[in-house]
């Protein structure tokens, strides 16, 4: 039984290391901040998670298993939120997208003045056309 857990733990650690390496290569090779962030978040989280699972499988102590699972839960809960916030901050501050980006879903939907995102493209277009703010109905020229 110990040989099986050693093999499973070793495979988890090796596959996790491969995904972390893929995240590092993605950070170096991707053309803009958004794709770099995607590579680091997805592959890095998966790789770190697999390494934590490998540690949990190999550990003989339930305290180590509990700590590894708690770290995995924390990682899975925080990494997507952090990536979203970093991406939003980059977009709001005007970091340009790669020239090969096919579609910008937020273009024309973010109001710099009020620092909010329109819920629909038509709402943003209506506000831009008539100069009103949909929350208070006042004109934007105040």
pLDDT, one tens digit for every residue, the chain (142 residues): 789 999 999 999 999 999 999 999 999 999 988 889 988 999 999 999 999 999 999 988 899 999 999 999 999 999 999 999 998 888 888 888 888 888 877 777 777 777 777 776 555 555 555 555 545 555 444 4
Does one domain contain both 45 and 74? yes
Supply the pLDDT for residue 111.
77
Residues 79 and 120 in one domain: no
User: Are 24 and 68 members of one domain?
Assistant: yes
Neighbour-count burial of 11, counting CB atoms closer than 10 A to its CB (0-12 exposed, 13-18 middle, 19+ buried): middle
Judge whether 32 and 98 are in contact, CB under 8 Å.
yes
Total count of domains within the chain: 2
Q: pLDDT value at position 126? A: 54
Q: What does the DSSP assignment read for 96-122? A: PPPTT----TTTTTEETTTTEE-SSHH
Looking at the fold, whether 6 and 40 belong to one and the same domain comes out as yes
Q: Which helix (H) or strand (E) holds 37?
A: helix 33-58
Largest CA distance in the chain: 74
Q: Do 80 and 35 share a structural domain?
A: yes
Residue 75's pLDDT is 94
The whole-number pLDDT of residue 141 equals: 45
Domain range enclosing 34: 2-92
User: Is residue 91 within 8 Å of residue 101, measured between CB atoms?
Assistant: no
Taking the alpha carbons of 77, 97, 103, 42 in that order, is the dihedral positive or negative? negative
pLDDT for the residue 115: 72
Indicate whether 45 and 19 sit together in one domain: yes
Q: In terms of domains, do 11 and 80 share one?
A: yes
> Residues 87, 110: one domain?
no
């Amino acid at each position: 039984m110990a040989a099986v857990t050693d093999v499973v733990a070793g495979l988890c650690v090796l596959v996790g290391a491969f995904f972390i390496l893929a995240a590092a290569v993605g950070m170096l090779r991707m053309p803009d901040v958004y794709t770099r962030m995607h590579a680091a978040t997805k592959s890095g989280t998966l790789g770190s998670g697999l390494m934590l699972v490998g540690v949990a499988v190999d550990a003989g102590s339930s305290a180590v298993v509990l700590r590894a699972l708690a770290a995995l839960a924390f990682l899975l809960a925080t990494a997507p939120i952090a990536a979203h916030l970093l991406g939003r901050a980059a977009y709001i501050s005007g970091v340009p997208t790669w020239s090969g980006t096919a579609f910008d879903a937020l273009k024309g939907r973010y109001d710099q003045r009020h620092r909010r995102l329109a819920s629909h493209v038509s709402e943003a277009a209506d506000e831009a056309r008539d100069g009103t703010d949909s929350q208070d109905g006042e004109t934007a020229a105040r």
